[in-house]
Amino acid sequence: MPEYQTLSDDQLEGAIRSLPRREPRAALRARVLTRASRPRRSSLLLRPGFAFALLAALLLADLAVMKRQDALLRPTPLAAAPTIAPADSDPELAAVLADTYGAANRWQLALSGPPPSGDSYLQLRRELSLRGKG
Amino acid sequence: MSSAESWTIARRQEEAPGETVPDATGDDLAALYDAYAGTLYRYALTIVGSVEAAEDVLQEVFVGLLRRRGRARIEHLREYLLRATRNQAYMHLRKCRSRSRDVTLETWVEVTADFGQPELAADISAALARLPADQREVIALRLTGELTFREAAEVLGIPAATAASRYRLALSKLRTYLTESNDDA
């Protein structure tokens, strides 16, 4: 039986170094090398086609949302000028009312379409002022 | 120059900006494996204390190395691999916290009848298993990895003087444990 008490550090180191050592199984070597020879799988997110498809899908979705919002926000034009009841008895009042509805409709059309230019705005103001409706 | 030596990868990319190594071929990796697998396996075994777990750790280390192919140079490849082994081994231990503490740790010492002094091998293996993990690590790095104290300290992330004193303390404890086992017998 070895006398461990009397072992110096060097002797103890020598004894430890001399011991048989475990080695990894040969199958592990084959497993690691097989894995190394396998081509690396690229992530789905890194595939080039996927990025373009994702971008196109996002743009289409954005476009659809914008169209839907446009449709919801567009104001409906006012109904056509109603028949003026007192037109027969009071032609002057009928003419004023018809002009008023006409001006309102033109405003409505101007607001629902592209922004009115300064000229068209001034023209409408002028018309309404001349008729005492401004 | 061997494939293992030629396949140096920068340990810290900032040390060698822009330097990359070509992809390792299967032959390169086989040479690397043959050069370092034994040392890394025994070091992993020192930490995880199980043959199966040490093999898993070793595989993860080489898989991790493969992921770095062609990315950056590594200097001091052996120390890099030992550090990677240490990280993987402690990661494995964290995952297996539920493991019973009563399980006897397996060490790198192969106790076989073929060895002339099987009793010595068994005693030293049992004494190594009783050492605290940090002391067992420094013994493994010095006596199976043949690292200097400075190199071992770099792997462990401690000053070289601490590694040296830890090593002396471990040898002293080993002697005590061996004497106790002698007395018990």
Digit-by-digit pLDDT tens for chain B (185 residues) are: 444 444 544 333 333 333 333 355 556 788 889 999 999 999 999 999 989 999 999 999 988 888 777 666 777 889 999 999 999 999 999 888 655 555 568 888 888 777 778 888 889 999 999 999 999 999 999 999 999 999 999 999 999 999 999 999 999 999 999 998 777 76
The rounded distance, in Å, linking the Cα atoms of A12 and B74 is 35
Which chain B residues are closer than 8 Å to A13 by Cβ?
142-143, 171
Examine the domain organization and report whether B102 and B118 are in the same domain.
no
Interface residue B171 vs chain A (CB under 8 A): yes
- Please check whether residue B115 is in contact with residue B59, taking contact to mean a CB–CB distance below 8 angstroms: no
Contacts of B90 (CB under 8 A, 6+ apart): B47
- Please check whether residue B73 is in contact with residue B9, taking contact to mean a CB–CB distance below 8 angstroms: yes
Pairwise pLDDT comparison (B140 vs A105), residue with the higher score = B140
Examine the domain organization and report whether B14 and B96 are in the same domain.
yes
- Please check whether residue B49 is in contact with residue B100, taking contact to mean a CB–CB distance below 8 angstroms: no
Q: Which domain holds residue B24?
A: 1-106
Interface residue A31 vs chain B (CB under 8 A): yes
Interface residue B137 vs chain A (CB under 8 A): no
The CATH number for B142's domain is 1.10.10.10
The pLDDT value recorded for residue A87 is 52
- Please check whether residue B92 is in contact with residue B57, taking contact to mean a CB–CB distance below 8 angstroms: yes
Examine the domain organization and report whether B31 and B82 are in the same domain.
yes
Q: Would you call B178 and A31 a contact, using CB atoms and an 8 Å cutoff?
A: no
Pairwise pLDDT comparison (B112 vs A113), residue with the higher score = B112
For residues A38-50, average pLDDT: 66
The rounded distance, in Å, linking the Cα atoms of B80 and B114 is 34
The rounded distance, in Å, linking the Cα atoms of B45 and B58 is 10
The model scores a pTM over 0.95: no
Examine the domain organization and report whether B95 and B164 are in the same domain.
no
- Please check whether residue A81 is in contact with residue A102, taking contact to mean a CB–CB distance below 8 angstroms: yes
The rounded distance, in Å, linking the Cα atoms of A1 and B173 is 19
Q: Where are the beta strands (DSSP E) in B59-185?
A: none
Examine the domain organization and report whether B134 and B91 are in the same domain.
no
Examine the domain organization and report whether B97 and B121 are in the same domain.
no
Q: What is the 3-state secondary structure (H, E, C) of B116-171?
A: CCHHHHHHHHHHHHHCCHHHHHHHHHHHCCCCCHHHHHHHHCCCHHHHHHHHHHHH
The backbone region for B157, taken as left when phi is positive above 0, alpha when psi lies in -120 to 50, beta otherwise, is left
The rounded distance, in Å, linking the Cα atoms of B167 and B153 is 11
Angle CA(A75)–CA(A78)–CA(A84) in degrees, nearest 5? 170
Nearest to B182 among A4, A15, A16 (CB): A4
Examine the domain organization and report whether B92 and B137 are in the same domain.
no
Tokens at A128, concatenated: 């309404």
The pLDDT value recorded for residue B141 is 95
Interface residue B182 vs chain A (CB under 8 A): yes
Q: What is the 3-state secondary structure (H, E, C) of A26-77?
A: HHHHHHHHHHHHCCCCCCHHHCHHHHHHHHHHHHHHHHHHHHHHHHHHCCCC
Return the minimum-mean-pLDDT range out of A39-43, A61-65, B119-123: A39-43
Q: Which of residues 47-106 of A touch B (CB under 8 A)?
A: none
Domain boundary at B106, B140, B161, which? B106
The domain total for chain B is: 2
Examine the domain organization and report whether B134 and B95 are in the same domain.
no
Domain boundary at B75, B106, B137, which? B106
Domain boundary at B84, B106, B128, which? B106
C-alpha A113, offset from chain centre: 26
Q: For residue range A7-38, what is the model confidence (pLDDT) as tens digits?
A: 888 999 998 998 899 999 999 999 888 877 77
Q: Which helix (H) or strand (E) holds B34?
A: helix B26-48
Q: Which amino acid is at B157?
A: G
Average pLDDT, chain A: 75
Examine the domain organization and report whether B52 and B3 are in the same domain.
yes
The ipTM is 0.76
The rounded distance, in Å, linking the Cα atoms of B23 and B60 is 18
* Unique residue bearing structure tokens 């196109």: A56
